[in-house]
Amino acid sequence: MIYLELFLSFAKIGVMTFGGGYAMLPIIQREIVEKKKWVTEADVMDYYAIGQCTPGVIAVNTATFTGRHIAGDLGGICATAGVVFPSIIIITLIAALIRGFAHIRAVQDALAGIRVCVCVLVFNAVLKMWKKAVVDKVTLVLYLAILIASVFFDASPILMVVIAAAAGLLVKGRAKA
C-alpha cells in the first residue's frame, strides 16, 4: 500500500525535524533518497529551489512533490498529510496540557544542543548536494554570488532563483550550432 507507506515515511520525517525546512534536509536525504530511493539528490535540489519561490512551507512542498512523483496526486496528498500529522498531535497535546512549555529549562537546554547538531547535519547535507550542483565554472560563480548576496545583503531568494534560472538558460539553453 504505497499511500500508507508515503504517509508513514513523511510522518517519520515530520517528527524528526527541528526547525525550518532546511533542518529537514539531512532526514530527507536519509529517508527518501538513500533508504527508499524514491527520488534523487538532484530532484530534492529542484524541489527546494521551486519551494523557495512558491507559497507555503518548504517541508510541505517537498512532501507534495515526492508523493506525487511516486504515486500521483493522491500520493502527494498522502505524503503531505503525513508530514503535518505529528505536528498536529504534538502541538495539540502541548497547547492543551502544558503551560509555558517553551520556558521550561530542560526544553531550552535540549534545544540549544539540538541546534548545534542540526548545524552540523545541514553542513553535511549541503556538502553532498554541493558536489552534484556545482559542476563547472558557471555554477561555481552562481553559487558564490548567490551565497554572498544572501548572507551579506539579505537578497530576496525569489530574485536569486529567477536570476539563476535565467543564467542557466543563457549558458545551456542556446541551440547547438
14-53 residues in contact with other proteins (CB under 8 A) are 14-27, 30, 42, 45-46, 48-53
Binding other proteins (rule: CB under 8 A), the pick from 38, 70, 77, 82 is 77
Which residue is listed with cell 535565467?
Answer: 166
Give Cα separations from 50 to 6, 38, 62, 86 (angstroms). Answer: 21, 18, 9, 25
Give 8 or 18: the residue with its C-beta nearer to other proteins: 18
Rounded distance between C-alpha atoms, residue 14 and residue 82, angstroms: 8
* Shortest separation between residue 137's beta carbon and other proteins, angstroms: 11
What does the per-residue mask of binding to other proteins show for 79-118, with x meaning CB under 8 A? -x--xx-xxx-xxx-xxx---xxxx-xxxxxxxxxxxxxx
| Rounded Cα distance, 114 and 19, in Å | 10
Q: Are 165 and 75 within 8 A, CB to CB?
A: no
Between 8 and 53, CB nearer to other proteins? 53
Residue 60 Cβ, how far from other proteins at the closest point, in Å? 5
Q: How far apart are CA 148 and CA 134, in angstroms?
A: 16
CB-wise, 5 or 84, nearer to other proteins?
Answer: 84
| Rounded least distance, CB 159 to other proteins, Å | 10
Nearer to other proteins among residue 4 and residue 95 (C-beta) = 95
Q: What is the nearest approach in angstroms of other proteins to the Cβ of residue 8?
A: 15
Contact 105, 88 (CB under 8 A): no
- Closest by CA position to 145, among listed 126, 167, 120: 167
Cα 60 from Cα 56, distance rounded (Å) = 7
**In the bound complex, what is the minimum distance in angstroms from residue 1's beta carbon to other proteins?**
21
Number of residues that bind other proteins (CB under 8 A): 107
- Name residues contacting other proteins, limited to 108-167 (CB under 8 A): 108-126, 129-130, 132-134, 139-140, 142-147, 150-152, 157-158, 160-161, 163-167
Report d(CA 63, CA 122) in Å as an integer: 18
